[in-house]
């Protein structure tokens, strides 16, 4: 794995643990020789993880829509900054540039980006690992919702197992390196539950 896409908040959140985890993720990426691909912002956890990667001598590649760049939230000191026309272009390029995906704490955008890439994995569109850095239990409720989806017959257990989860960035990256996508079809056959 050469580059990992990190989805995270444009806010730092209220707990200092979130910023600490963003710095630790940046150091872990650089320390393991992996580049960062992210939304290109200089604010919130986005800016913190990018700064940590670069301070540790790593590569940080940002992808930001023109409208956000004009609002001056783009990070000007990255290894590369791609300015694109739309959020759809942003997500497509981030996916193309990445060998795996990590969601750190964030809001609606982070949730949407993560759920999209895990859906793509479930559908066989890509074989890349999808992971949650569960800082201070931030994703416990989402993980419970995924488990509820399994219990109610909307998510297969092998697809639920595709969501890798750790609280420590180094352990999470190691699990991502060892990820093997399931061989199961997404579609439930007639008469199957």
Instruction: Locate the domains of the chain by residue range.
Output: 3-177
80-89 LR contacts (CB < 8 Å, sep 24+) = 81/40, 82/40, 83/40, 89/65
pLDDT at 177: 96
CATH 3.40.50.450 holds for 3-177: yes
At 73, the pLDDT band (50, 70, 90 cuts) reads: confident
Average pLDDT over residues 37-66: 97
Q: Does the predicted model carry a pTM greater than 0.85?
A: yes
Q: Does residue 188 surpass a pLDDT of 90? A: no
Q: In 10 A of CB 57, how many CB atoms?
A: 9
Task: Give CA–CA dist 97/17, Å, rounded.
Answer: 28
* Residue among 101, 103, 68 nearest 85 (CA): 68
Three-state DSSP string of 49-108: HHHHHHHCCCCEEEEEEHHHHHCCCECCCCCEEEEECCHHHHHHHHHHHCCCEEECCCCH
What pLDDT is stored for residue 181 in this prediction? 87
């Amino acid at each position: 794995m050469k580059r990992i896409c990190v989805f995270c908040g444009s806010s730092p959140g209220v707990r200092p643990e979130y910023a600490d985890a963003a710095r630790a993720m940046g150091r872990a990426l650089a320390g393991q020789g992996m580049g960062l691909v992210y939304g290109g912002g200089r604010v919130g956890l986005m800016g913190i993880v990018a700064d940590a990667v670069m301070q540790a001598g790593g590569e940080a590649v940002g992808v930001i829509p023109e409208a956000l760049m004009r609002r001056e939230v783009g990070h000007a000191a990255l290894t590369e900054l791609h300015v694109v026309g739309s959020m759809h272009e942003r997500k497509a390029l981030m996916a193309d540039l990445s060998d795996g995906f990590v969601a750190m704490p964030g809001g609606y955008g982070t949730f949407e980006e993560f759920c999209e890439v895990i859906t793509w994995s479930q559908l066989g569109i890509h074989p890349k690992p999808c992971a949650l850095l569960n800082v201070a239990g931030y994703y416990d409720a989402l993980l419970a919702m995924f488990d509820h989806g399994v219990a109610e017959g909307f998510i297969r257990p092998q697809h639920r197992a595709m969501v890798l989860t750790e609280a420590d960035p180094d352990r999470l990256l190691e699990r991502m390196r060892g990820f093997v996508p399931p061989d199961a079809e997404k579609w439930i056959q007639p008469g199957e539950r």
